[in-house]
Amino acid sequence: MTQLLHADAAGIARAVALLRAGELVSFGTETVYGLGADATNDRAVAGIFAAKRRPRFNPLICHYPDADAAFADVVANTRAQRLAATLWPGPLTLVLPRRPDSGVSLLVSAGADTLAVRVPAHDTALALLREFGCPVAAPSANLSGKVSATTARHVLDGLSGRIAAVLDSGSCPVGVESTVLDLSGAAPVLLRPGGVTVEALEAVVGSLRTGDDASGVLRSPGLLASHYAPRLPVRLEAVDVQPDEALLAFGPPLSGAGAVFRLSDKADLTEAAARLFAGLRQLDADAAALGLIRIAVMPVPHRGLGRAVNDRLRRAATPRS
């Protein structure tokens, strides 16, 4: 049985006790719900892969209450320090060289000599991390290949019975995962667009290379094309819609769809990002009930948080076998 814990002092204390015992606890962050384990406990970390049915080669993000704690496990260069000072706590993950004396399980790095670290901008998550006092490894709290969870209910839909508890802090305000930036090489490389915009990063560290034009090696396995997958096929850039389609609307909805989810009537990218995964889940459920065959998605502008939204939508639209 998975316990549902309130985001109060008693709930946080219970979550800490479970983490200390090597159990898995899901917790809300500003981006999505994480599936947390004590990052220094190999068995607990292995439990994450098992619970998610996640391929072994995918490394995990380590969560900390502040930059000092994070930089005790990795070697922070000047860029990392500047970004941490301006954008942490916040939806930004930095990939940096591991310190040889770090107690973080090697499984968290999936064998690499780097570690992804982040300080979430979320009161409950920070209280949990502070009270626990050890790094928490946490991928998004969904089964591998499924859409990320932005409410405790979403977490339970995928992982009920597979994890010890969910600390319910309501819905996640940002709604898309953190931006992942690799600072372990000579030049910074954007591995995953996310809650912090490229514009905000470039204001601090100058122009960025993206994973596509970098080495050609798949450096962030989370970028596997099929990572974000609703059950239904997805049709992007829809300018019309059929009665047998569900519509993910951005701005005022097109008419004629069999079901509609409104990301943002005002065409606000922040609101759309926050509602994206809930929308895909809702339309999947509506479509199953109504016999619809596809999700049509209205165009979302490719700027600011729209980049992260389009990245997730492109993955959702990638054909699966």
Interaction of residue 93 with Mg ion, rule CB under 5 A: no
- Cα separation of 145 and 55, whole Å? 10
Label the pairing between strands 92-97 and 3-6. Answer: unpaired
* Binding-residue total with Mg ion (CB under 5 A): 1
Interaction of residue 2 with ligand TXA, rule CB under 6 A: no
| Span near ligand TXA by CB under 6 A; candidates 157-165, 201-209, 213-221, 288-296 | 213-221
* Residue 154 beta carbon to Mg ion: minimum distance, rounded to whole angstroms: 13
Q: What are φ and ψ of residue 44, in 5° steps?
A: -65, -40
Tokens of residue 69, six digits: 């704690």
Q: What contacts 73, CB < 8 A, 6 or more positions away? A: 62, 98, 99, 102, 103, 104, 115, 117, 135
Beta carbons of 168 and 6 less than 8 angstroms apart: yes
* Residue 138 beta carbon to Mg ion: minimum distance, rounded to whole angstroms: 10
Interaction of residue 32 with ligand TXA, rule CB under 6 A: yes
Which positions from 119 to 158 touch Mg ion by CB under 5 A, shown as an x/- string?
A: ---------------------x------------------
In the complex, residue closest to ligand TXA by CB: 222
* Residue 240 beta carbon to ligand TXA: minimum distance, rounded to whole angstroms: 34
Q: What contacts 318, CB < 8 A, 6 or more positions away? A: 225, 226, 229
Burial 214-224 (b: 16+ CB within 10 A, else e): beeeebbebbb
Closest-CA residue to 180 (of 189, 168, 171): 189
**In terms of CB distance, is 176 or 259 closer to Mg ion?**
176
Residue among 135, 222, 230, 306 that touches ligand TXA (CB under 6 A): 222
Which positions from 99 to 118 touch ligand TXA by CB under 6 A, shown as an x/- string?
A: ----------x--x-xxx--
Binding site for ligand TXA (CB under 6 A): 29, 31-32, 34, 58-61, 91, 93, 95, 109, 112, 114-116, 138-140, 177-178, 180, 191-192, 219-223
